[in-house]
Structure 1
Amino acid sequence: MDDALHDDLGALVDGIPEGWSRVMIDGQSWAVTRTTRAQGGALSLDIELLGTAERFGANVWITSQGPVLRPCEVPEEKILRFLRSAAAADH
């Protein structure tokens, strides 16, 4: 992951509040749960499109080199696309 993506990922993850929150993206209601672990050294994101079976998630490791994204069974770009859309959405 390049430095620009590290910076982008850090800012995007920082925009997700701890716990459960709802975000509207393109008229669809999404839920995202952020759980911080390991004294802030890692966090998990659980994402779902409300009213459907669509669910996915990722872990983010906070390292001295910057955040590292570890998606769970989905492409990295799917997580980044959600985070970018959530950042641009009206919460």
Structure 2
Amino acid sequence: MTFRAALDAIPAGYSEGVFQGRRYRIEKTLLAGGRSVKLVAWELGGADYISLNVYALAAGDALRPCEMPEDKVRDFVSGVAIG
């Protein structure tokens, strides 16, 4: 599954998911008619935090992690199991 397909599979609004055996609270917000996506996730009972923005540009999607490595947000979005 591509990164964008994995991001699209996470529902907008509030959800919970499991990543690497840890449970997360996830908030996904669609902006500009869905051309911009903001995703923030907090580990429940832990200190991990994920934050990213994706912008749909004419040249393709632009991923902008918020003060963390791009690999971290890609791994989370591609690996989180919602539910």
Deviation at 1:64, TM superposition (A): 2.5
Q: Whose strand proportion is higher, 1 or 2? A: 2
In structure 2, which of residues 24, 27, 33 is the aligned counterpart of residue 33 of structure 1?
Answer: 27
Percent sequence identity over aligned pairs: 33
Query: How many residues align structurally?
Result: 83
**TM-score relative to the length of structure 2:** 0.87
**TM-score relative to the length of structure 1:** 0.80
Flag the structure with more relative contact order, 1 or 2, with Cα contacts below 8 A and sequence separation at least 6.
2
In structure 1, which of residues 55, 60, 81 is the aligned counterpart of residue 75 of structure 2?
Answer: 81
C-alpha RMSD over aligned residues: 1.7
* 2:46 aligned counterpart, secondary structure: coil
Q: Distance in 1 between matches of 2:48 and 2:22?
A: 12
- Are the aligned partners of 2:16 and 2:82 in contact in 1 as well (CA < 8 Å)? no
Structure 2: gaps (5+ residues): none
Structure 1: gaps (5+ residues): 1-6
In structure 1, which of residues 28, 40, 43 is the aligned counterpart of residue 37 of structure 2?
Answer: 43
* 2:2 aligned counterpart, secondary structure: helix
Deviation at 1:12, TM superposition (A): 1.3
